[in-house]
Amino acid sequence: RDLVRSRGLGDVYKRQLKNGPINALTGPIERGDFETVKRHIECFKNSEPDITAKKVYAAVSEALIRQTGRQPDSKTAELLKTN
């Protein structure tokens, strides 16, 4: 709790609780900027720990995209499924 207060994150968490996680979403997924999502995935190296981080990023991104109801282009969809 003290960390949350000291970093000024309390308001962020309150907005998320009030508005829900999808309405609190910001960044390329919220904007439908799948080109940026692809570039993010392509930045990961093909060695650990990047392989694991890429899998986590892809899984979270895919879940968030589904929640927003957006449809990624075919290349982004393929990158998300294969990583």
pLDDT tens for each residue of 43-69: 999 999 999 999 999 999 999 898 888
pLDDT tens for each residue of 3-20: 545 556 667 677 777 877
pLDDT of residue 5: 53
> CA nearest 61: which of 23, 30, 18, 24?
30
Instruction: State the alpha helices, DSSP H only, in the chain.
Output: 2-6, 10-19, 28-31, 34-43, 50-68, 74-82
Burial class from Cβ neighbours inside 10 Å (0-12, 13-18, 19+) for residue 56 reads exposed
